[in-house]
Amino acid sequence: MYPNQIRLISKTHELQTPSTEISDEQILALLQEEKSMEPGFRLLLQKYQERMYWQIRRLVVEHEDANDVLQNCMIKVYRSINTFQGKSKLYTWLYRIATNESITFINKKKKKSTSSIDEEESGLANQLKADAHFDGDAVQRQLQQAIARLPEKQRLVFNMRYYEEMSYQDISEVLETSVGALKASYHHAAKKIEQFFKETDIN
Amino acid sequence: MLNAHCIVVKNRGTMHSKDEIKKELEELSPFLAKLKAKEDPFNVPSNYFDNLADQVMAQIKEEEEVAAPKVVSQPTPSWIDRLIEQLQLLLQPQYALQLASVAILLAAGAYFFWPSSSISPGNIDEIAANISEDELIQYVQHNIDDFEVSQFVDAGIQEVNFDLFLETEINSEEMDQLMDDLLEDLDESSLEELL
């Protein structure tokens, strides 16, 4: 009936239609009172857990790692929800936490491993092959490799625009970067990925 | 031009901003646009999101239980802790010299006046600490004639706090005499330092 909507659900992982979703104001009101903090927090999880999960998963790749990072994020959110001042949207605040935790995780992992960039890439390709939670073919694995090669900021922008389909304004709130710079980042990222495919196809 | 388009599209709702993103990708890289149309290869274990909230809440509660005992075992502050707290408030820089010096003087006075008591050099500090600042100031004001400037100087006061003098009834003549006395007692080198 609504093919576009169905496709949107699978791509952006939105399970509820906007009309049935609880509002951020209602969630925040519940989180203000100690008695209603747990139900409020559960509603927050229900609304945003999937989006946060995918933001993290795109960066850390493995489901188990994404699960660890997501749980840490959620505990942080619970402990620091009082510091949310409403200057940005709730979901961009959540995305910022998820992004920072993911990057911290990735950097920790990099420090532990002493492999070179090339080894990391072929490692990633093999890892995706073996991953029970990755169903992609060779092209998909190549795409993930290409994304992994991007500089950090470009990678973040690309994920948020390409996979999460976020507006530049929202991305700007998450990364605290101007819309103009973000557009340029996205364009560079897309071109680099294309270039990577051309180079690897030739080989 | 692109910005104007964005503003118009935003007003029509989120469906159209998704279209805008799709169009942007098709113009930027038809290859990536085609790739995106295929199914997302990343999978999630079934029921993962259903169970997540319970797992997170369980972890939060566990952490809270670990933290809680520390709060309970803290003893209530004793009267000495409260006294020390109050003294710390009093011991601000502007009071420090006066308080310390007057406390020393009083303690010394106590030592001399009550020789038969249990006061010894060891517990003078304790006795001095128990005297409030108001009591100290009142004592000094009341007995200001007994205090010589040299005592203040020896005790390390660089400035004489004239507020003490002003609260007693001194007329201008007495004030002049007082000033002269003070200046006489100071030797030349201290005077040069002051000036």
- Whole-angstrom Cα distance, residue A41 to residue A27? 7
In the chain, the amino acid numbered A148 is A
- Whole-angstrom Cα distance, residue A60 to residue A69? 9
* pLDDT mean across residues, chain B: 67
Instruction: Tell which of A6, A157, A194, A200 to mutate to test the B interface (max B CBs under 10 Å).
Output: A194
| Beta bridge mates, B42 | A134
| Residue A200, pLDDT score | 83
* pLDDT mean across residues, chain A: 85
| Residue A6, pLDDT score | 39
Closest listed residue to residue A106, CA positions, set A152, A145, A142: A152
B105 pLDDT higher than 90: no
- Whole-angstrom Cα distance, residue A163 to residue A193? 14
Average pLDDT, integer, range A126-141: 80
B41: nearest CB among A53, A135, A161: A135
List chain A residues with CB under 8 Å of B18. 8, 165
| Residue B160, pLDDT score | 45
Tracing tokens 């409403």 back to the chain, one arrives at A86
| Residue B49, pLDDT score | 95
- Whole-angstrom Cα distance, residue B186 to residue B195? 12
**Residue A155 token pair:** 């990678």
Average pLDDT, integer, range B66-72: 68
Interchain CB contact of B15 with A (< 8 Å):
yes
Between residues A5 and B112, the one the model is more confident about: B112
| Residue A112, pLDDT score | 80
| Beta bridge mates, A134 | B42
Q: Please state the length of chain B.
A: 195
Distances (CA, A) of A203 to A197, A199, A200: 10, 6, 5
List chain A residues with CB under 8 Å of B59. 71, 75
Average pLDDT, integer, range B141-170: 53
| Residue A115, pLDDT score | 67
- Whole-angstrom Cα distance, residue B60 to residue A92? 23
Reported as a single tens digit per residue, the pLDDT across A30-78 is: 998 989 999 999 999 999 999 999 999 999 989 999 999 999 999 999 9
CA A50 to chain centre: 10
Between residues A102 and B96, the one the model is more confident about: A102
Question: How many CB atoms are closer than 10 A to CB A31?
Answer: 21
List chain B residues with CB under 8 Å of A197. 31
Contact A78, B58 (CB under 8 A): no
Contact A128, A134 (CB under 8 A): yes
Q: Which of A60-69, A177-186, B11-20, B120-129 has the lowest mean pLDDT?
A: B120-129
| Residue A189, pLDDT score | 97
| Residue B91, pLDDT score | 64
Closest listed residue to residue A167, CA positions, set B29, B27, B23, B14: B14
Reported as a single tens digit per residue, the pLDDT across A96-133 is: 999 999 999 998 988 887 666 666 666 777 777 777 78
Instruction: Tell which of B18, B36, B42 to mutate to test the A interface (max A CBs under 10 Å).
Output: B42
A12 pLDDT higher than 60: no
- Whole-angstrom Cα distance, residue B60 to residue B74? 23
Kind plus residue range of the DSSP H or E element containing A131 = none
Contact A98, A73 (CB under 8 A): yes
Q: What was the ipTM of the complex prediction?
A: 0.78
| Residue A138, pLDDT score | 84
Distances (CA, A) of A46 to A22, A52, A134, B88: 10, 11, 24, 50
Residues B10, A67: C-beta atoms closer than 8 Å: no
| Residue B168, pLDDT score | 47
| Residue A64, pLDDT score | 93
Interface of A with B (CB under 8 A): 4, 8, 10-11, 18, 38, 41-42, 45-46, 49-50, 53-54, 57-58, 63, 67, 70-71, 74-75, 78, 133-137, 139-140, 143, 161-163, 165, 167-168, 186-187, 190-191, 193-194, 197
Reported as a single tens digit per residue, the pLDDT across B44-59 is: 998 999 999 999 999 9
**3-state percent helix, strand, coil for chain B, nearest multiple of 5:** 75, 0, 25
- Whole-angstrom Cα distance, residue A52 to residue B135? 64
- Whole-angstrom Cα distance, residue A188 to residue A154? 8
- Whole-angstrom Cα distance, residue B167 to residue B163? 6
Residues B35, A139: C-beta atoms closer than 8 Å: yes
A5 pLDDT higher than 50: no
B10 pLDDT higher than 70: no
| Residue B17, pLDDT score | 81
B190 pLDDT higher than 50: yes
Question: How many CB atoms are closer than 10 A to CB A108?
Answer: 9
- Whole-angstrom Cα distance, residue B171 to residue B166? 10
| Residue B164, pLDDT score | 46
Reported as a single tens digit per residue, the pLDDT across A150-195 is: 999 999 999 999 999 999 999 999 999 999 999 999 999 999 999 9
